[in-house]
């Protein structure tokens, strides 16, 4: 019985949709029936019937040895849709989120809030800094978290998984960047860092097919072959499962982007505690050239009591990366990076037209070029300080550049403008 205007959040089966597959979705196998002669027959001609596939679905898999005729089924019940963006948000039981499929987190006890909160830096953020389109259609109930349904799954068909685009390590000792990745960023290197934050200007740059543009904060530790990293910011990734618009994202790895880690909640690892923020969801509104500017506050801070890296977006504690999933980040980070990154596939031997930031160079300044402002770090005494001793790193300034401003008395604090248009007469290959 429905007790409110929204659909119930009672789950069906294991509480996962059939596209999740074996060990995650519930299933029936060896389906048979007795015919008129009382002979057992495989149910090869079973017909799918679902009353509300957006809430609970079923996918007939046919005959699959050794399971015979079989199907996956289930769902989370309550979900929200944004008609503007086409996004579907599933409100998933907090105890059934992907994190707990990780073998090291099977007995994990959820921490709802950090055991201690650092003081904010006192600077307000630009109007409309964070708004997710699905909010106007409701909110997820208590004890659930919002998970954005991948758009290539909204047709409710089981599809084969494709490898995620791997992020590559950028070491301060590498003069030539990894092929296909270009950067405009600043770094603090060689300390014992327990956090970093900034306000990141949000845009919708143009991104070419199968490429990506990132504006992010990264905290890393360890050698490149065993690099541990936690990352957060906004991105546009033209993978078919994304919206091709600016989206909030996180990422992590514990082995230099080889076998571990993923975006958002696409694999076990990050433990989400907030019912308000959907990772991977569209950010609205975004900045316009010569018009209103919007930014989002992103912070990542180590909780020394339990060794967890907490993510804060605006004033919301979204969740944390548990210390158990890391090797070197079980302690502190030794590098912090703030800035932009693009993926350049170099189609036809030419440089990509994928834009970084706003798609305009930093020399154009406020309202035209993208920026990071109020750069802060948390030192080994858990005290938040202005970023200092920053090292600028730009792979190809004729394609994308960065202009650093170190003047904390300014309301923008330590900040920089960055970005570029990619392909041009000066940036052709």
**CA angle, residues 323, 247, 299, in degrees to nearest 5:** 40
Structure confidence at residue 306 (pLDDT): 86
Burial profile 224-241: b = 16 or more Cβ within 10 angstroms, e = fewer: eeebbbbbbbbbbbbbeb
Cα separation, 80 vs 268, whole angstroms: 23
Predicted TM-score (pTM) of the model is 0.80
Cα separation, 38 vs 369, whole angstroms: 75
Cα separation, 391 vs 335, whole angstroms: 11
220-271: per-residue pLDDT in tens?
A: 999 988 999 999 999 998 775 566 789 999 999 999 999 999 999 999 999 9
* 79-81/88-93 β-pairing: antiparallel
**Of the candidates 72, 155, 145, which has an alpha carbon nearest to the alpha carbon of residue 112?**
145
314-360: per-residue pLDDT in tens?
A: 989 999 999 999 999 988 999 999 999 999 988 878 899 999 999 99
Structure confidence at residue 151 (pLDDT): 64
15 or 149: whose pLDDT is higher? 149
141-186: per-residue pLDDT in tens?
A: 888 999 988 765 433 333 222 333 445 444 444 445 567 899 999 9
Do residues 15 and 8 make contact, with C-beta atoms less than 8 angstroms apart?
no
Dihedral sign computed on CA atoms, order 242, 423, 375, 120: negative
Catalytic residues: 231, 341
């Amino acid at each position: 019985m429905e007790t409110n205007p929204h659909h119930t959040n009672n789950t069906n089966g294991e509480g996962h949709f059939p596209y999740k597959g074996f060990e995650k979705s519930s299933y029936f196998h060896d389906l048979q029936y007795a015919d008129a002669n009382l002979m057992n027959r495989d149910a090869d001609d079973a017909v799918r019937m679902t009353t509300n596939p957006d809430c609970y679905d079923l996918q007939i898999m046919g005959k699959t040895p050794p399971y015979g005729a079989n199907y996956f089924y289930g769902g989370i019940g309550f979900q929200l849709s944004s008609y503007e963006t086409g996004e579907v948000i599933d409100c998933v039981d907090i105890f059934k989120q992907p994190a707990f499929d990780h073998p090291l987190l099977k007995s994990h006890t959820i921490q709802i809030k950090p055991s201690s909160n650092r003081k904010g830096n006192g600077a307000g953020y630009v109007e409309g800094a964070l708004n997710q389109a699905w909010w106007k259609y409701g909110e997820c109930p208590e004890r659930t978290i919002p998970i954005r349904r991948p758009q290539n799954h909204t047709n409710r068909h089981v599809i084969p998984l494709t490898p995620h685009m791997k992020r590559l390590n950028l070491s301060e000792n590498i003069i030539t960047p990894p092929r296909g990745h270009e950067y405009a960023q600043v770094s603090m290197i060689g300390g014992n860092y327990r956090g970093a934050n900034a306000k990141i200007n949000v845009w919708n740059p143009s991104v070419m097919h199968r490429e990506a543009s990132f504006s992010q904060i990264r905290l890393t530790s360890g050698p490149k072959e065993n690099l541990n990293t936690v990352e957060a910011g906004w991105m546009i990734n033209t993978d078919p499962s994304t919206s091709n618009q600016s989206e909030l994202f996180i990422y992590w790895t514990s082995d230099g982007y080889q076998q571990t880690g993923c975006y958002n909640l696409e694999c076990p690892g990050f433990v989400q505690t907030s019912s308000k923020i959907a990772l991977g969801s569209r950010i609205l509104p975004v900045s316009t050239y010569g018009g209103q500017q919007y930014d989002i506050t992103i912070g990542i801070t180590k909780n020394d009591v339990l060794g967890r890296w907490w993510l804060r977006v605006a004033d919301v504690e979204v969740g944390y990366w548990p210390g158990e999933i890391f090797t070197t980040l079980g302690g502190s980070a030794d590098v912090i990076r703030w800035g932009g990154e693009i993926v350049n596939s170099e189609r036809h031997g030419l440089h990509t037209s994928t834009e970084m930031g706003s798609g305009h160079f930093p020399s154009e300044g406020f309202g035209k070029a993208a920026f990071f402002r109020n750069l802060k770090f948390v030192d080994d005494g858990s005290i938040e300080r202005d970023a200092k001793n920053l090292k600028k790193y730009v792979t190809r300034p004729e394609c994308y550049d960065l202009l650093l401003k170190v003047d904390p008395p300014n309301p923008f604090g330590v900040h920089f403008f960055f970005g570029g248009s990619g392909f041009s007469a000066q940036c052709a290959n």
